[in-house]
Amino acid sequence: MKNPLLCFALGLFALTTAAQAEITVATGHNENGAPTPAFEFQQVPRPAKAGTVGKFTIIDGESDPAGGGLAKLNDGRMPTEDDQPDENFFFNADTPGGRLRLDLNQVKTIQQINTYSWHPNTRGPQLYKLYGATGAAAGFNPEPKRGTDPATCGWTLIASVDTRPKSGEPGGQYGVSISDSAGAVGDYRYLLFDCSATETDDGFGNTFYSEINVLGPGETAPMAAGKNGITVVTGHNTGEDATAAFNMRGVPRPAKTGTTGKFTIIDGESDPAGGGLAKLNDGRMPTEEDQPDENFFFNADTPGGRLRLDLNQVKTIQQINTYSWHANTRGPQVYKVYGATGTAEGFNAAPKHGTDPATCGWTMITSVDTRPKNGEPGGQYGVSIRAAAGAVGDYRYLLFDCSATETDDGFGNTFFSEINVLGPDEVAPGSAPSGDANPVESKPYVAHTPDGKYEITFDTSRAANMTEWTTNKLAPALLEWYPKIVAYLPSDGYEAPKHFRVVLRPGDGVADTSGTRVNAYIPWMKREMNGEAIGSLVHECVHVVQQYDSHHPDNPHPARNPGYLVEGIADYYRWFKFEPKSKGAEITRRGLARANYDRSYRVTANFLNWVSEKYDQDLVPQLNAAMREGNYSTNLWTKNTGKTIQQLNTEWKDDLKKKIEGGVAGGG
């Protein structure tokens, strides 16, 4: 079924989870032309003034003789220009990188690991895996060469880092801060940096590392910006990557219990189509991308508004986490958050727009803007506001000054799904990391067709109990038949999608397709796992191949394709090519009276099969090609069979009647 849908940008930082559930990797990038002498980033601390005490050793690879050597990694000095080889360490040209070991001389509780780099081109970004070890594990190997997985010889994977920008120039200053929102990163004596080149187009892809800081609990480096070292971590799941648990890299999942407190609108008005203020702390998340009654949002055609949360008493706040979900511009979040104890002189508990809360007893905590710089704005968004060290603050009241994300129309107010305000003992769970033995959600399964030409992603994150069926039954069928559908439905100059996604999701109905995303609805699919489920998704694969709405660039006035034929071709392939023995498109005596060529789905499929067998075996591929090019006309029937579609319809029905009266179901 066709159902057009409005189908990662993380600002200046990206986030990754690793072997420990609370590990986060915050990164910053100052682009060429905007460097700062002190390596200041919004979410990454400035380099420590004193170099890390310890000894770096190359255990695989070789240093570039043009660089400053290993001493540059912990000398407490930063380069002053973007291309200063002698102020950086980097692996030799024309090599794939290497491995560095840092010996801290003793086991140390590590609070942060911060790495910095600077180069005007591809040697600026950082790409590495980080491991830790105490050195006491049985079979510990202090020098694992490449080809040996450190995790097999006494090392623990801490995190993976990749700061290469998805778009734009790669040059500039980069900062990375690895920490644990719930405590220390771990207790280690040794750290192993497995560094890779950022590109292989030439021999100059090894990163210019300027400094590596390893800091204990009392050594946390200063933040460049943000009151009290406040950091704002954001995550974005695009429409096709949305997960039931709002699982985002770097941002904790929503708490299962709603925040205790009372939300009040102090300026603006709630949209009557929404679920009201209660949705902000009910502990329930929406299950669809456009569920107004499961979200709070300010009224249409308004610029936003202000919300106050009363926590009932002054509370030490460790995190403020906000979540939203919408298919378009109502997904991103734009707001300022303020805190207050309520005891300041001149405190105004309900400052309206036009009044700066900072002038009447409120403290500015931070600003949030998750609108992506490029790409579609829709999807799930998560924001986690926290302090680099310690608590966000002690407050009774929080004020959220929310703005619309756009003004092109009246529908820019964010669909806020939940707001969690957490104390030190209430820190929300991190997103499920790779390597987690018991992940909350199933990771998408990516598979390739036998010829390697096509890739299908199967997302069962919201249907974990269907993962085995998807992997062992559904995937093999689609991987076998998708290339066959492509071969059966060609047209001049057309190349079928090389990748598409099958997402099992809650909802009514069977399945639908939008572009290269197939939505399969869990209740029906679960009932039909041993019945019609796979066949229904072969039908959807035909829609992925058809792409009728996007492949006629040279036809400024494409003809409208009849819906019955779009669906009829998909069902024809399903019932007469994929599963002909099921006889699922037979016309019975009871269905004969309603049989007509334009009844769509199975009935039209039966008609197409009859015409193909009697007149032209290439009819369906030819109809498909014409429809894809915007050239469909009923004249095609006459051209291919010598008869009008009405004449064919009459002849088909007469033939059906004879077969049924003769005791044979009308299978075409």
What pLDDT is recorded for position 667?
A: 60
> Residue 600: inside a domain, yes or no?
yes
Let me know the angle formed at the C-alpha of 371 by 369 and 374, rounded to the nearest 5 degrees.
145
Q: Sheet holding 209-215: strands in order across?
A: 23-31, 172-180, 112-119, 209-215
pLDDT attached to residue 559: 86
Show which of 215, 244, 260 is a domain's final residue.
215
My answer on whether 365 and 452 are in the same domain is no
Q: β-pairing, 511-514 with 97-110?
A: unpaired
- Report how far residue 92's alpha carbon sits from residue 492's, in angstroms, rounded to the nearest whole number: 49
Q: At what angle do helices 563-573 and 533-546 cross, to 10 degrees?
A: 130
Looking at the structure, tell me whether residues 540 and 576 fall in a common domain.
no
CB-hemisphere CA count at 13 Å for 510? 14
- Residue 17's pLDDT is 32
For residue 483, the surrounding DSSP H or E stretch is: helix 475-488
- The confidence score (pLDDT) of residue 615 equals 96
**Residue 559 falls inside a structural domain:** no
Same domain, 605 and 655: yes
Same-domain status, 327 and 390: yes
Structure tokens at 203: 């021999």
- Does residue 527 sit in the same domain as residue 621? no
Going by C-alpha positions, the residue among 410, 390, 305 that lies closest to residue 352 is 305
Residue 239 lies in a domain: yes
Residue 232 falls within a domain, yes or no? yes
Please report whether residue 167 resides in a domain: yes
CATH of the domain at 383: 2.60.120.260
**pTM of structure:** 0.44
pLDDT digits (tens, 9 = 90+) for 520-529: 999 999 999 9
**Claim to verify: residue 616 and residue 656 sit in the same structural domain:** yes
> Per the structure, how many domains does the chain have?
4
Q: Which of 391, 422, 453 is the last residue of a domain?
A: 422
**Tell me, what CATH number does 531's domain have?**
3.30.2010
The three-class DSSP label of residue 308 is: strand
Same-domain check for residues 533 and 613: no
Residues 142 and 188 in one domain: yes
Helix (H/G/I), strand (E/B), else coil: 628: helix
Q: Do residues 455 and 328 both lie within one domain?
A: no
Residue 564: inside a domain: no
Asked, for residue 431, whether it belongs to a domain, the answer is no
Q: Is 236 exposed, middle or buried (0-12, 13-18, 19+ CB in 10 A)?
A: buried
Residue with tokens 């998340």: 285
Query: Is 365 within a domain?
Result: yes
Domain limits for position 494:
445-546
pLDDT along the chain (668 residues), means of 10: 36 33 78 84 82 94 94 92 93 95 93 94 95 93 94 92 87 90 81 95 93 82 50 80 79 88 96 95 90 94 96 93 94 96 95 94 91 84 80 93 92 96 71 35 76 90 88 93 96 92 88 90 94 96 88 72 94 96 91 92 96 95 93 94 96 93 65
Out of 170, 188, 215, a domain closes at 215
Listed in order, strand segments (DSSP E) in 247-346 are 262-267, 304-317, 319-326, 334-340
Same domain, 287 and 415: yes
Q: Nearest-CA neighbor of 116 among 105, 107, 104, 124?
A: 124
Same domain, residue pair 210 and 320: no
Same domain, 493 and 607: no
3-state SS track over 352-378: CCCCCHHHCCCEEEEEEECCCCCCCCC
